[in-house]
Amino acid sequence: MQCDYFDSGRCASCALMGVPYAVQLADKHRRCELELADAAPDVVWLDPFASAESAFRNKAKLVVGGRTGAVTLGILDAEANGVDLRACGLHEQPLQQLIPRVAALVDEMGLEPYDVSARRGELKHVILTLSPAGTVMLRFVLRSRRHLALLQSRLPMLLARVPDVAVVSVNLQPEHKAVLEGDTEIVLTSQDVLAMPVNGLTLNLRPNSFFQTNTAVAAGLYRQAQEWMREVSPDAVLDLYCGVGGFALHAAQAAVGRVVGVEVSPDAVLSAERTARELRTGHPDVGDVEFQVGDATDPGALDPDLVRSGRATVVVNPPRRGIGPDLARWLEQSDAAHVIYSSCNVSSLARDLAVLPSYVTRRARLFDMFPQTSHHEVIVLLERR
C-alpha cells in the first residue's frame, strides 16, 4: 500500500507502511510463533488469515482540529495542531467517500473544534462506523451540551445530505485527557442501533458498543471459533467478555448446547439479546442462548455450574492485558474441557497460557485485523489434559 500522508511525513501511525504485505504477515506470524513457543510447544499453527492491505477499516475515529468553518479531520501533531487525513486509504471505500461530506457539514453547521492547547471549544472527535449493509453510524464527541440543540435542529438536513447515515448520536466527554469518548451517549435519531450482518447473523451495534474494526477478518475469526466448537461439541458454552455476542451467537448457531454470554457493558448485553431474539425468530433450531451483565475479571461472580459437566467450552476475548491470574485460576479449577482464547496481545496470551498447566494448546491461528501495523489477533484452542 502506498500512502501520500505517510510519504510526506504528515502521519506515521502506520509503522509498517511501505513494507510488502506478504512480509508483514510472515513477520507477524513468526513473532506469534516465537512468543508462544514456551507456553505452547506442541501447538499446530494454521495458515494466517490475511486481510485486504488497504480499505479494510469499518470505523473512522477522527480527531477534530482546525478552526470553525475550516475543520481538519484526522489526528493532532506534536504541537496539538490538526492534521487532516480525510482521504486515509485504510478506511473502506464508502467511508472514504463519506468523510469529506461529513467534514463539509461540520463546517456548514459551524461546530467549534476543541482546541487542546487552549482547552476551549466543543467538538473533539467524529466517529463513523460502516455496516456491510452500507449504512453508517455517526457520532459527535462533544465537550459539553452547548452544540446539542444545534445538532438536533440540523438533524433533518444532515440525514437528507448523507442518507447512508442511519444512526446519529452525541457523546459527551468533558474531561481534558486523551480519552476518545465519555460515559454519556445521547441518540438523536429514532434508530438507535446499527445492523451489522456477519456470517448470516445480524449483530446490533449501539453507539458505544465494541466491534472489530475489520469486518471481513472478524467474520473469519468467528467462523474459526464456530468450527472448533462444532468439532469439540460441548454441551455448554460460556462466553466471557462477550461484547455484542459475536462468539456466543455463532456458538448458538452451531447448536452446541446452552450458551451464556457475560459482559460488563449493559448496552452491549441489550444489543446481544436483541440479536438473539431476531435469530430465534427465523431459526427455531438455534440453541439456548442468554446474556448476563457481569464482570469477567471477578470470577467470584461467575456461576461454576455453567461449566460443571466436564464437556463445556469457555470462550475468552479479553482486552490487551489478558485474562489475568484470578480468571486463570478459576479456569484451572473449573471442569471446562476446552477453552477458546482470542487475544489481541500475544505477549499477555503467552503469560496466561503459562499459568494454565491443566490445559494444552492444540491449535493456533493469526488473524490480521490491522495491516500496516504490528497489531495482531491470535486465537487458540486449549484442551484439558
pLDDT on residue 285: 65
Number of neighbouring beta carbons within 10 Å of residue 314: 25
What's the mean pLDDT in 298-321? 89
- pLDDT number for residue 90: 98
Backbone φ/ψ region at 267: left (φ over 0), alpha (ψ -120 to 50), beta: alpha
Dihedral angle sign, alpha carbons of residues 384, 327, 287, 206 = negative
Specify the pLDDT at position 301: 82
Band of pLDDT at residue 300, cut at 50, 70 and 90: confident
Which residue in 121, 27, 47, 52 sits closest to 82, CA to CA? 121
CA diameter of the chain:
64
| pLDDT, position 254 | 85
Q: Residue 287 pLDDT > 80, yes or no?
A: no
pLDDT band at 268 (very low <50, low <70, confident <90, very high): very high
344 is catalytic: yes
165-172 vs 184-187, strand pairing mode: antiparallel
pLDDT given at position 279? 85
Q: How far is CA 81 from the centre of its chain?
A: 28
pLDDT at 255 over 80: no
The whole-angstrom separation of Cα 337 and Cα 382 is 8
Q: What is the pLDDT of residue 297?
A: 86
The Cα–Cα gap between 100 and 102 comes to 5
pLDDT of res. 263: 95
Residue 304 C-alpha from the chain's centroid = 28
Question: pLDDT at residue 344 above 80?
Answer: yes
Tens digits of residue pLDDT in 240-249: 999 999 999 9
Global confidence as pTM: 0.95
CA angle 240, 244, 248 (to 5 degrees): 50
For the stretch 55-69, pLDDT in tens is: 999 999 999 999 999
Kindly report, residue by residue over 71-81, the tens digit of the pLDDT: 999 999 999 99
Q: What are phi and psi of 242, to 5 degrees?
A: -75, -15
Tell me the DSSP string of 243-300: TTTHHHHHHHHTT-SEEEEEES-HHHHHHHHHHHHHHHHH-TTPPPEEEEE--TT-GG
The domains of the chain, with CATH numbers, are: 4-53+214-384 (3.40.50.150), 59-190 (2.40.50.1070)
Q: How confident is the model at residue 284 (pLDDT cuts 50, 70, 90)?
A: low
Place of cell 455463532: 250
pLDDT at 305 over 90: no
Terminal-to-terminal C-alpha distance of the chain: 44
- The percentage of residues in the chain with a pLDDT greater than 70, rounded to a whole number, is 98
Task: Report how far residue 36's alpha carbon sits from residue 41's, in angstroms, rounded to the nearest whole number.
Answer: 7
Nine-digit cell at 264? 460488563
Q: Are 286 and 316 in contact (CB under 8 A)?
A: no
pLDDT at 302: 87
Catalytic residue among 3, 11, 32, 344: 344
Average confidence (pLDDT) over 363-375: 97
pLDDT tens profile 346-355: 999 999 999 9
CA distance 225 to 249: 11
User: What is the DSSP secondary structure assignment for residue 43, as one 8-state letter?
Assistant: P
Position 310 scores a pLDDT of 83
Q: 210 or 113, which is more confident?
A: 113
DSSP 8-state symbol, 115: B
**Residues composing the chain:** 385
Task: Give the model confidence (pLDDT) of 138-190 as tens digits.
Answer: 999 999 999 999 999 999 999 999 999 999 999 999 999 888 999 999 999 99
pLDDT at 221 over 90: yes
Average pLDDT, the chain: 95
Rounded to whole angstroms, the Cα distance separating 383 from 385 reads 6
Alpha-carbon 85 to chain mean position:
22
The answer to whether 196 and 272 are in contact (CB under 8 A) is no
Report the SS3 class of residue 105. Answer: helix
Spell out a b/e string for 63-99, using b for 16 or more CB atoms within 10 Å of the CB, else e. Answer: bbbbeeeebbbbbbeeeeebbbbbebbbbbebbbebb
